Chain A
């Protein structure tokens, strides 16, 4: 492929219509990035990875829609496969909240967590809407797909794209990938595969995804937020702080009211073991005072 030049935006176009679920991408990723991974587990279908996390930077999702009754031919939608990965969002939730500046946008326009800067606060994990980032118990920092930052710097394409036997994972400059994707979805529509659609190729989710997808069903079917649900964490800053400020003002006001309405200080109350209530001229007014103030203002 063409030379990889810093300053240009790179990404993945993952075409799920040709994914065969071989998991070569997962293996290649683990091998290159030296990720030990978790113990395999027998999960639903052929999935034994579970989800993207600190050890799994590619995850082939198997979405099983096979009905119990026999079905006819040409039902390719019954079993969806999708090699999931960090989306390298243009408006990245993780990068927004990261307090240390560990999450940066690289010279290849990818989103990268610097392991030497991250202090393991896990704010990015609470923010990522794709459940991509995990906390690595060995290195004690947050980790995710780097879009093979080291390989890109050396002029090599990412390991997963290189290993993919069906070209379901394509790597390249985002502008070129978008053109290819547009052509591919037009071809599929022409063949009558009307359910094919692109996800993240435009700015409808998180300002555009550098790693975008061709899907064979609604985004929700792949556990992806649709355009309506794709919201940034920082949307809650104004409302949260405003409510806090109103509460602070009301709290101070409550304190002032309490200061005004309280019983006068101790030295003005009847002395210890004093006469019974109501009898002395001094005791009566003191005890009445709060009630009167209340009546006057309320």
Chain B
């Protein structure tokens, strides 16, 4: 990695606040949901199909809000398209700078949007919600290898969308942000863990997707571990730069505590059950009455049902708090 000198900063804050915070949050969840759905589609078994559809469904509304938030954040919202088209007199053309994450990200949002939208429509056709003359034939095209390629490319775009926002912050001269190389990975890992939690939460609205709950619970534990490792790297890179106090001082430490609390369910699961689904894992994983059978008590079952909502909600809150701490502490 790059040697980081104890950098002094002489910059003004860009005032990226609430719109950007929620964009980062939604981008992480949209990209992560699409990527997890792709994993289930390509390497899961037929019983994962409902969860695949759930993932692709979830990604669409999450995604749609992203460009809206970004546009609202602009000083000149009607010029949002200037991100893609250079209107400089005498030099008009495509605007694309590979070294500017905001430029790359703008294009990535367009590309990911195509994949999210097509996959969303495909699922509507497969669920027979959308009935159009040629739709079935189009969906059948996506049954072939072309469909797999489509999912993979879209999944890669999703992973990019979930993570590049951290690189965007790092490619600046702001304290904290530009002192570390860990933000891109950190946002990606937290986006994935949030997406796994979100999909586990959404399963209750699509009971036939319960077959995949086990995978979601287990992957959430591993994503939480990945996030913890990157959090450690984040802290380690801020020490030589001397900006650790900026990032973790009061009141930001409160947000960091929430972010860390969001990691705890996954880490605790990893410590107690490792990669086995026992205890509360089996409760959430078990279909229908299996939960009651294993734990054998109405009160315990309702407690477990509460936990199956509260735990993913805590994870999602942690995903939001992590981004808030990073965004606000540096400005």
Contact = CB atoms under 8 A, between A and B. Distances in A.
B75 interface: yes
Interface in B225-275: 226, 230, 233, 274-275
B14 A122 contact: yes
Contacts of A246: 185
Given A122-B16, A255-B39, A262-B285, A236 B159 contact: no
A263 B222 contact: no
Interface in B57-99: 73-76, 79-80, 82-83, 86-88, 91, 95, 97, 99
Contacts of B285: 262-263
A149 interface: no
Interface in A215-250: 220, 223-225, 228-229, 231, 233-244, 246-248, 250
B188 A291 contact: no
Interface residues of A, number: 82
Contact of A102 (B36, B40, B88): B88
Contact of A247 (B8, B184, B210, B214): B184
B43 interface: yes
B303 to A, nearest CB: 19
B188 A248 contact: yes
A294 B275 contact: yes
A244 B101 contact: no
B189 interface: yes
A173 interface: no
B125 to A, nearest CB: 25
Contacts of B143: none
A66 interface: no
A93 B172 CA distance: 8
Contact of A100 (B10, B95, B192): B95
B177 to A, nearest CB: 8
A285 interface: no
Nearest to B216: A258
Nearest to A134: B12
B288 interface: yes
A291 B40 CA distance: 22
A97 B276 CA distance: 46
A251 B9 CA distance: 33
Contacts of A262: 214-215, 217-218, 277, 285
Most buried by B among A97, A247, A287: A247
A234 B211 CA distance: 45
B211 A237 contact: no
Contacts of A263: 214, 277, 282, 285
Contacts of B97: 96, 98-99
Contacts of B35: 251-252, 255
A101 B88 contact: yes
Nearest to B96: A99
Most buried by B among A229, A266, A267, A287: A266
A129 B171 contact: no
Contacts of B79: 100, 118-120
Contacts of B91: 101, 104
Contact of A251 (B106, B159, B278, B290): B159
A291 B276 contact: yes
Interface of B: 1-2, 5, 7-16, 35-36, 39-40, 43-45, 47-48, 73-76, 79-80, 82-83, 86-88, 91, 95, 97, 99-103, 106, 156, 159-160, 163-164, 166-167, 170-174, 177-178, 181-186, 188-189, 192, 210-211, 214-219, 221-223, 226, 230, 233, 274-278, 282, 285-290, 292-294
9 contacts: A99-B83, A99-B95, A119-B75, A125-B14, A134-B12, A239-B1, A244-B185, A255-B222, A267-B47
Given A126-B11, A273-B289, 16 more contacts: A99-B106, A101-B86, A126-B14, A126-B174, A129-B11, A135-B75, A234-B171, A240-B170, A240-B183, A241-B164, A243-B184, A243-B185, A244-B166, A262-B217, A266-B210, A269-B287
A-B complex: 9 closest residue pairs judged by Cβ atoms = A120-B75, A272-B289, A239-B181, A262-B214, A247-B185, A140-B75, A244-B184, A240-B167, A254-B222
